[in-house]
Structure 1
Amino acid sequence: MNAPGTLVLIMAIAVLAPLVAYGLGRWVRIPLVIFEILLGILIGPDVLGWTHHDQVIDTLSDLGLSMLIFLAGYEIEFAAVRGDTLRRSAWAWVISLAVGLGLAFALTGADVPKSFVIGTALTSTALGTVLPILRDSGDLRGRFGTVMLAFGAVGEFGPIIAMALLLSGRRPGESTLLLAGFAAVTAAGIWWALRPRPPWFSRIVETTLHSSGQFAVRFVMLLLVCMLGLAAAFGLDTLLGAFAAGLLTRLVLVGAAPESSEEVLGKVEALGFGFLVPLFFIVTGIEFDLDSLLGGGRTLLLLPVFLLLFVVVRGLPVYALAPRDLNRTDRRALTLYASTCLPLVVAITTIGLDDKVLEAGEAAALVGAAMLSVLVFPLLALRLRAGEGAAEVPDGRSAGSEAW
């Protein structure tokens, strides 16, 4: 099938996926991303064979991943995640990286390049995937949501930094210098974003918000593309630029046009979650190597091993360092959410495959385990939080019942 036909089929799947999720939601709450990936696998070369690798579709998929990471970066509120919570989340990720690399070295027989790929993948948190689930359930508000944002942000940002340092193929010293240069430019951008905007900026944002001009949306897209280009110019992964663009966009919009910032974000989210992000997840399903996974042997055995390692490497340090004001149930739910991963696992395994560091079966096992983490861990966390809410609400209803 040619590129236009493939895109039509992918968008049809993007429309079908929420209908299936909504229909089944009366019995079981399954994250939408699971249906997008599974339907992508269904139309992919290993099942129905209706779609195949295409450069145009891959480019749109890359934009979808960048948009997902951008929106995750936008969600970060510096005032909410600073201080002790941020320090705890940073130390939890550092411990995760050390444990992940150690276990990866043991698993691969001290194969250094492969250990870097696997170890880094084990430390990620899919904040962009978890956020819609938290928002829909009402868990994003309050103390639990603030803590999850902090741990999730570090779980997104930390692996991206590790990718730049460990998976770039350059010497560590060179990578560190390039990363420092990018950080310096980003810091200058933050300084600029924090400066007062001229009055005309907020006026034109409000004036064009419901017109064909859409100045604010165009400005956000320009900022995103500029940060992607800056990361590429420094030889770093563009996901680092996407995350930084999200941070900068929040500072600019909230500072310059606070009355319009939520509506602007709604328009950007409509572009992201309405087109680019589902395209990324569906293409992930299309390109998933199902044959390698179902071929049995070592690949199939690795899948539950990686799923367990996501909890051990990422989850346990989060549980140990979670703020003490969270009760045990919330800490368990935080552990499960933090162990949920997928987008960065896909990105990291893609790098491993391109560099011929990972075998196809190993990549399929990692991505398959990440898909299971998205399916299983948030559901368990939602049930934990709902059970806790049921114990606290006098009339016996779950605190998250409105979202179900």
Structure 2
Amino acid sequence: MAQSVTLILIMAAAVLAPLLAFGTARWISVPLVIFEILLGVLIGPDVLGWAHTGEVIDVLSQLGLAMLIFLAGYEIRFDEVKGDTLRRSAWAWLAALALGLAAGTLLAHGGGFGKGVYVGTALTSTALGAILPMLRDSGDLDGRFGTVTMAMGSVGEFGPVIAMALLLSGRAPARSAALLAAFAVLTAAAVFWAMRPKPPWFAAVIAKTLHSSAQFAVRLVALVLVAMLGLAQAMGLDVLLGAFAAGLITRLVLHGAAPESSGAVLSKVEAVGFGFLVPLFYVVTGIQFDLEALLAGGRELLLLPVFLLLFLLVRGLPVWLLAPRDLVRRDRAALVLFASTALPLVVAITTLGVQDGELGAGEAAALVAAGMVSVLVFPLIALRLRGHAAGGGRPAGEESW
């Protein structure tokens, strides 16, 4: 009974969040995820005490996380971010990883390198799904600045997932690398299949069932997702890597086999993800957010501004140094702010850290809170630097993931 009540409260929060986002858009642009997490905190045990998670809610939340990473993989368009720009983005992220691991280990407070890996990897992530809609609304997505931001953000999404598979698997690095290489080979085989021309009946079935109860394309997407999740789990890798790979493969399949139907199929998948699973994950994150530990004072509360500054230094400094030289100083500063915006992977990594006993609840809460502030503040300043009104375009919170 308690789980049923909690699920009702979670979905009520999911419905209320976009209303709040639209209602506040005239004054300030607040990403939807902020309201979802805050409403979760409100109904959670540390404030009103109405909602408590359990096995069923936790399973649904994990599905939401998998869908979130799947849609992140789908968003990445490597065909548009190649050459020198992609190389600079990769080197900028590798430099950020080195800085992040060093900073995380120094802040581990006796936790050693293990805790430093969780903190350091989280500091290298970029919330691509949160900044893409802002770039789209401002008209910057299709220009040079948008291409560079897409490259930096894509590597900021892809890199931490790979780092988690290598560094957070609990195995020797050599064995983790071997398993990751084997997974990459299998994924490459799936990508090769996805890029091969499909028979005419394949696109015909997608189009014919698009508005029927058969929903062939949506079922195919679900199959690719669970297959890649199962493959990653069977190989002992983080399932988020499987979800990410599934997103990449699905994009290739849909755009290659049925480009005229791919938009409609994606909208159906997004309806399931953004309409149910993803907001559920974020609200549950708020419910499980240890507000009491964060507000107890002491080290955890002091870590919040420290982590926020580290997002700028660890992720932003390499981006500033390695950004393409054709960007003017103002655009480089905006790029740093966009690249330093982080939250979804921060939530995922800290959740794993707490589950594995490497991160304390207060430390995880400080990291997530810093990520929330970065999503709320950094893009708004970046848009101002680019000369756009912060509240223009699509209402706040109508984001990709």
Which TM class, normalised by the smaller chain length? Answer: over 0.9
Amino acid paired to 2:353: G
The answer to whether 1:148 aligns with 2:149 is yes
The answer to whether the 8 Å contact 1:139/1:400 transfers is no
Instruction: Quote how far apart the aligned CAs of 1:215 are.
Output: 0.9
Q: Which residue is 1:274 aligned to?
A: 275
What whole-Å deviation, never above 9, does each CA across 1:25-68 have from its counterpart, x for those lacking one? 11111111111111110000000000012111111111111111
2:132 equivalent in structure 1 = 131
Asked if 1:369 corresponds to 2:370, the answer is yes
Contact in 1 for aligned 2:131/2:338 (Cα 8 Å): yes
CA distance in 2, matches of 1:72, 1:355: 24
Q: Would the alpha carbon gap of residues 2 and 136 (structure 1) be closer, same or farther in structure 2, given more than 3 Å must change?
A: farther
State yes or no: 1:211 paired with 2:208.
no
Give CA-to-partner distance per residue, 1:310-341, whole Å, 9 cap, x none. Answer: 11001111122122222222222221111111
- 1:267-325 deviations in whole A, cap 9, x for unaligned? 11111111111111111111000000000011110110001001100111112212222
Tell which deviates more after alignment, 104-113 or 234-243: 104-113
Structure 1 position 382, deviation (Å): 2.2
Which residue in 2 is equivalent to 1:237? Answer: 238
Q: Secondary structure, in 3 states, of the residue corresponding to 2:141? A: coil
- 1:62-102 per-residue CA deviation (whole Å, 9 max, x = no partner) reads 11111111111112222201111111110000000111111
Matches within 5 A, 1:65-80: 65-80=65-80
Of 88-97 and 370-379, deviating more is 370-379
Contact 1:126 1:343 in 2 (8 A): yes
Cα distance in 1 between the residues matched to 2:218 and 2:335: 33
Tell me the residue number matched to 2:123: 122
1:393 alignment counterpart:
none
Distance 1:137 1:58, change over 3 A: farther
Tell me the CA shift for residue 140 of structure 1. Answer: 2.6
Q: How does 1:4-403 map to 2 (within 5 A)?
A: 4-108=4-108, 111-385=112-386, 387=387, 401-403=392-394
Letter in 2 for 1:13: A
Does structure 2 conserve the Cα–Cα contact (< 8 Å) formed by 1:68 and 1:128?
Answer: no
Q: Contact 2:68–2:278 (CA<8 Å) still a contact in 1?
A: yes
The answer to whether the 8 A contact 2:53-2:284 is kept is no
341 and 47 in structure 1: CA distance in 2 versus 1, 3 angstrom threshold = same
> How far did residue 109 of structure 1 move?
5.5
The answer on whether the counterparts of 2:137 and 2:392 sit within 8 Å (CA) in structure 1 is no
- Aligned equivalents of 1:326 and 1:305: distance in 2? 29
Letter in 2 for 1:221: A
Amino acid in structure 1 at the alignment position of 2:358: V
3-state SS in 1 of match to 2:107 = helix
1:107 positional shift: 2.4
What letter matches 1:278 in structure 2? P
Amino acid at match of 1:253: L
Contact 2:380–2:390 (Cα < 8 Å) also in 1 = no
Q: Which amino acid aligns with 2:204?
A: R
Secondary structure at the residue paired with 1:340? coil
Unmatched segments (≥5 aa) in structure 2: 396-401
Distance 1:241 1:114, change over 3 A: same
Counterpart residue type for residue 4 of structure 1: S
Shift of 1:347: 1.6
CA distance 1:64–1:131, shift in 2 (3 Å): farther
Note if contact 2:10-2:283 (Cα within 8 Å) is conserved in structure 1: yes
Q: Distance in 2 between matches of 1:132 and 1:71?
A: 14
| Number of the residue aligned with 2:398 | none
Q: Separation in 2 of the partners of 1:270 and 1:145?
A: 26
1:399 positional shift? 11
CA distance in 2, matches of 1:267, 1:201: 18
Contact 2:293 2:361 in 1 (8 A): yes
Counterpart amino acid of 1:47? V
Distance 2:287 2:218 in 1: 30
SS, match of residue 108 in structure 1: coil
TM superposition shift of 1:143: 2.4
The alpha carbon displacement at 1:24 in A equals: 0.8
Secondary structure of the corresponding residue to residue 124 of structure 1? coil
What CA RMSD, in Å, does the superposition of the two structures yield over aligned residues? 1.7
Could you tell me how far apart the structure 1 residues matched to 2:10 and 2:390 are?
A: 36
User: SS of 2:76's equivalent?
Assistant: coil
- Structure 2 counterpart of 1:322, which letter? A
